[in-house]
A and B are shown apart, each in its own frame.
Chain A
Amino acid sequence: MSAEIQDNGGKKGKQSKQKKMTVRVDFTPMVDMNMLLITFFMLCTTMIKPQTMELSMPSNDKDITDDQKSKVKASQAITLLLGDHDKLYYYEGEPNYQDYTSLKETTYQSDGLRTFLLSRNESAVRQVNELKKQKTDLKISEEEYAKQLAEIKSGKNTPTVIIKAMDGSSYENLVSALDEMLICQIGKYVITDMVEGDHFLVKNYETKGSLTKEIAMQ
C-alpha cells in the first residue's frame, strides 16, 4: 500500500458522519528512487577537478633581436639535462667540455635535485616562507602576497634554470623538473632543446671523460 488513509474517529455534533481524514503518504518508493539517483550520480560524476600547471614558453619569433633576448648571467645559470631512463644531470654556468666532472648526476628524489636547488635559492626560499607566514597570520592580503611573491621570484640573485630534455626522457620527468621549480620558488626557468654540446657532455660523463681524452690525443 503506498498511501493510506486513516480513520481518526468521527467529529462531534451534527456532521458526525463526515470523518476527519489523515492523509499519510508512504515515502518508501520515493526513498528507493532517490537512492537510485544518488547511486547514479556517484558513479557517473567526479568531484575531483584536474590540477594544472601553468607554463609560459618563450616566443618562437625569428624577428626578435638579440637585445630583446634576455641574457642569463653564467654564474646564476643552472642547466638541467633530463636523460633517458629517469636520469638527471646538471651543470652550473658555462658548460665545461674538458672536465667531465663539471657535469653532475642527481635524481628526481627530494634529496637530489631539490636539495641542490634549495641551497642555490636559499634567500628567496626564506623570504617566501616569511611571506607565507605573514599571509597565514592575515597580515597581508592575497593580492599583496601575489605581488611580493612575484617580486621575490624575479629577484636579482635568484638562479635561472635551463631545462633541456632529451628525446628519451618522459613527460613525467619534465613535469617533475617543473615541479621542483615550483617547490624551490624558482621564478626564472625555461625549457629549450638540447644542443650538440649537451649530448657530448652526457656521453663524456657516461664514459668518464674518454671523449675528452680522445680529442686531446688527436
Chain B
Amino acid sequence: MGRARIKRKSTYIDMTAMSDVTVLLLTFFMLTSTFIKKEPVNVITPASISEIKIPETDVLQIWVEPTGKIFMSLDKQPDLKAVLEKMGEEYGITFSAEQEKKFIVASTFGVPMQRMSNFLNLTLEEQDKILKTQGIPCDSTDNQFKSWVRHARSVNPDLRIAIKADADTPYAIIKNVMNSLQDLRENRYNLITSLKSVSEG
C-alpha cells in the first residue's frame, strides 16, 4: 500500500436539533413574556414587599412624574375610543376618524384637552417629543384628570386604577391625585411598586 489515504470528511452539520432547540426557546419567550409598553415618562417605582400582581387587562394606569405631570394609559382600544369621544363631548371638541385612530394607537395620553386636537394632528414622532412636556391638568381650577377618570369608569365599570408614581414625587402631588380620586368615590386602587424582600432594611 502506498501512503495512507486521508478520508475526506464532510463538514456538514445537521442543524435540525439546533433548530428544535431554538423553536422551543422562541415558544417559551412568546408565551411567558409580555411586550414592554411605550412609557411616556421614565418612572422609578418605590420598592415594597407586597407580592400582589397587577391584572393584565382593564387597568387604568396613572403615571405621576416627580415634577407633578400626570399621564394616563388604558389598555383596551374600544375603551380609549369611547373615552375620547366622551371627553370631546364634555369639552365641545369633535375628533375626526384619523385623530381618533392616532389616539388609540398611542394608548397613552397626557395632553390638556384644549391642545388635544392639534396634538393629534402631529405625526407619532412629534407626539412623542411633545408629550413629555405636557401632562393632564389636575388642579382645583381645571381638573381634567377627574373627567378622564370619570369617563373611563363609565365606559368600563371593571376598570382597576393603578397609580405608578416616581419614588421622589413629593407627597403634595400624590395627595392631589388621591383627593381627586376620592372625590370620584374611587376609594380602592393599586399602587405599583417593585419587589423587594423583607430582610432588606
Contacts and interface: CB of A to CB of B under 8 A. Distances in A.
A49 B54 contact: yes
A44 B12 CA distance: 34
B114 interface: no
A27 B14 contact: yes
Contacts of B192: 50-52
B182 A57 contact: yes
A173 B33 contact: no
Contacts of A53: 48, 50, 52, 190-191, 193
B190 A174 contact: no
| Size band of the interface chain A makes with B | 35 or more
Contacts of B195: 51
A59 B54 contact: no
Given A41-B29, A56-B187, A51 B52 contact: yes
Q: Which of A52, A165, A170 has the most CB of B within 10 A?
A: A52
A57 B16 CA distance: 58
Given A38-B22, A55-B191, A179-B49, A172 B167 contact: yes
Interface stretch (A11-19, A28-36, A203-211): A28-36
B87 to A, nearest CB: 23
Nearest to B178: A57
Interface in B162-200: 162, 164-172, 174-175, 178-179, 181-183, 185, 187-195, 198, 200
Contacts of B6: none
B175 A165 contact: yes
Q: Which of A53, A54, A55, A58 has the most CB of B within 10 A?
A: A53
Interface in A92-130: 109-111
Q: Would you call the interface of chain B mostly helix, strand, loop, or mixed?
A: mixed
Interface residues of B, number: 58
Nearest to B188: A56
A171 B166 contact: yes
A56 B169 CA distance: 20
Interface in B69-120: none
A218 interface: no
A167 interface: yes
A141 interface: no
A45 B49 CA distance: 24
Contacts of A151: none
A54 B52 contact: yes
28 contacts: A4-B12, A41-B29, A41-B30, A42-B29, A44-B35, A45-B29, A45-B35, A46-B33, A46-B35, A47-B34, A51-B48, A51-B52, A52-B50, A54-B190, A55-B190, A56-B188, A57-B188, A59-B182, A61-B185, A167-B175, A169-B170, A171-B165, A171-B166, A178-B48, A179-B48, A179-B50, A182-B50, A183-B198
Give the 9 A-B residue pairs with the shortest CB-CB distance, closest first: A27-B15, A34-B22, A45-B33, A172-B167, A167-B172, A52-B190, A60-B182, A175-B46, A172-B46
